Homo-oligomer: A and B are copies of this chain.
Amino acid sequence: MRFISGDKKAILEQLHSATSADTQVETEASVKAIIEDVKANGDAALFRLTEQFDGVRLTDFRVAQSLLDNALDHVEADFIKALEQAKVNILSYHQKQKQSGFVDTEKHGVMRGQLVRPLETAGIYVPGGTAAYPSSVLMNILPAKIAGVPRVIMVTPPGKDGLNPYILAAAKIAGADEVYQIGGAQAIAALAFGTESIPKVDKIVGPGNIFVALAKREVFGIVDIDMIAGPSEVVVVADATANPRFVAADLLSQAEHDTLARAILITTSAAFGQAVASEVEKQLQTLPREKIARASIANFGQVIVAESVEIAFDIMNEIAPEHLEIQLENPMDYLSYVKNAGSVFLGAYASEPLGDYFAGPNHVLPTSGTARFFSPLGVADFCKRTSFISYTKDALAKEKDAIVLLAEKEGLTAHARAIEIRFEEDDEDENS
């Protein structure tokens, strides 16, 4: 792990210089070509691209309803039980995010309000292959279901040996309405534009590789998307009261995701930082995914020694991490210090994997510093708002002159006329 210390300014400068540049240009061009292909050729393009990229020749993308209905028959009972338990926690947390609209009738003759309604269709992308995560199926589908989306469509790349049974079981438990075997940029294009067999959706969510991420960005505006996801990261803010073994294990749970994952410890104690670094090395040697985790730790692992807890939080807020663990003596005292973070884990036992699988808050979180402005996936992502107003003639009469004046200042005479014309009949009546 790379050690960084010094005053706040020096640490921030080193942090910024460590941020990696991305090389997306070539991929961008092929993603655009795939999208145009699917838009122009529909299913024919999808069959061809699926054979090309997934090495599978399909005759139908739709997973038979009977396969989905019987998905639980093909996985272990303890897995189903664990996933059902997770579902209970995810549902009870996300229920609290539900918003209702409002009506305001404070002024005579005026009604103003806001409707909150579910999207009509949502497309959930679920990665395949070695990165197949049943937990992500729950985290993406359940908020859509709570929002009330009537048609939740899951897509996932076809495997050479058929679909991953755990993914299909999770889709069943989460309540996916339809499942299609299709992946990559071509899946995103199909959901955005629709094809003969894939329905066009209102919003596409879910993680994916660089092709998927760039395709989502490309179709943004034609449909909505959740967020632009980058490599995952964790920041642990810890003092010498924390357990270095716990902290090291949590850093490694991040590092095993991806060689680009970032695991960062910010501590006020250099000695504690050393202890964690030793533990990281020790625990690394026992991990099946040692190679990935070791590369992540070597390239992006950092121990930052801050001069005070306040500075530690300033640095953390600058990083704006996806996951933040606060392993300080009185963790709750520091929640108010958090400005930018996707999800916060407070205290020694709120280990990050608890949030990944079980506690209930969503594990789809803003990455790469976007917690400055993006939020965890939630029920609001599957809703849209509509405002409404109703005015009586008397209520409009009271505000008419101001509206006409503002419209005329903006040079929009037809706007002014639309208000005035509603009072002209009276004048005519009076004159008749």
Does A418 count as interface, using CB distance less than 8 angstroms? Answer: yes
Task: Find out whether the CB atom of A342 lies under 8 angstroms from the CB atom of B386.
Answer: yes
Does A40 count as interface, using CB distance less than 8 angstroms? Answer: no
**Complex interface residues of chain A between 287 and 340 (CB less than 8 A to chain B):** 287-289, 293, 331-332, 335, 338-340
Given the interface pairs A332-B390, A421-B249, the reply to whether A81 lies near B402 with Cβ below 8 Å is yes
A46 → chain B closest CB, angstroms: 22
Which residues in B have their C-beta under 8 angstroms from that of A134? 406, 409-410
Copies of this chain, whole number: 2
Does A283 count as interface, using CB distance less than 8 angstroms? Answer: yes
Does A343 count as interface, using CB distance less than 8 angstroms? Answer: yes
Which residues in B have their C-beta under 8 angstroms from that of A416? 353
Task: Find out whether the CB atom of A361 lies under 8 angstroms from the CB atom of B419.
Answer: no
Does A117 count as interface, using CB distance less than 8 angstroms? Answer: yes
Label chain A's interface by main secondary structure.
Answer: mixed
Task: Find out whether the CB atom of A97 lies under 8 angstroms from the CB atom of B85.
Answer: no
Contact indicator per residue, chain A 80-93, by CB within 8 Å of chain B (1) or not (0): 01110110000011
Task: Find out whether the CB atom of A287 lies under 8 angstroms from the CB atom of B417.
Answer: yes
Contact indicator per residue, chain A 240-252, by CB within 8 Å of chain B (1) or not (0): 0000011001101
Which residues in B have their C-beta under 8 angstroms from that of A355? 387, 389
Contact indicator per residue, chain A 100-124, by CB within 8 Å of chain B (1) or not (0): 0010101000111011010110000
Does A49 count as interface, using CB distance less than 8 angstroms? Answer: no
**Complex interface residues of chain A between 385 and 419 (CB less than 8 A to chain B):** 385-393, 395-396, 399, 401-403, 405-407, 409-419
A376 nearest in chain B by CB position: B387
Task: Find out whether the CB atom of B228 lies under 8 angstroms from the CB atom of A217.
Answer: no
Does A220 count as interface, using CB distance less than 8 angstroms? Answer: yes
Task: Find out whether the CB atom of B332 lies under 8 angstroms from the CB atom of A373.
Answer: no
Does A135 count as interface, using CB distance less than 8 angstroms? Answer: yes
Does A62 count as interface, using CB distance less than 8 angstroms? Answer: no
A332 nearest in chain B by CB position: B390
Does A44 count as interface, using CB distance less than 8 angstroms? Answer: no
Does A253 count as interface, using CB distance less than 8 angstroms? Answer: yes
Task: Find out whether the CB atom of B114 lies under 8 angstroms from the CB atom of A361.
Answer: yes
Does A178 count as interface, using CB distance less than 8 angstroms? Answer: no
Given contacts A287-B414, A340-B384, A343-B387, 17 further A-B contacts (CB under 8 A): A78-B405, A81-B402, A85-B399, A92-B104, A112-B359, A115-B338, A246-B422, A331-B390, A332-B390, A348-B422, A352-B418, A353-B407, A355-B389, A358-B399, A358-B403, A375-B384, A375-B386
- Sorted nearest first, the 9 A-B pairs with minimum C-beta distance are A361-B387, A221-B228, A82-B402, A375-B385, A344-B388, A224-B373, A353-B415, A346-B390, A256-B414
Residues of chain A touching chain B, judged by Cβ–Cβ distance below 8 Å, are: 78-79, 81-83, 85-86, 92-93, 96-97, 99, 102, 104, 106, 110-112, 114-115, 117, 119-120, 130, 132-135, 166, 202-203, 217, 220-221, 223-224, 227-228, 245-246, 249-250, 252-253, 255-257, 283, 286-289, 293, 331-332, 335, 338-362, 370-376, 378, 380, 384-393, 395-396, 399, 401-403, 405-407, 409-419, 421-422
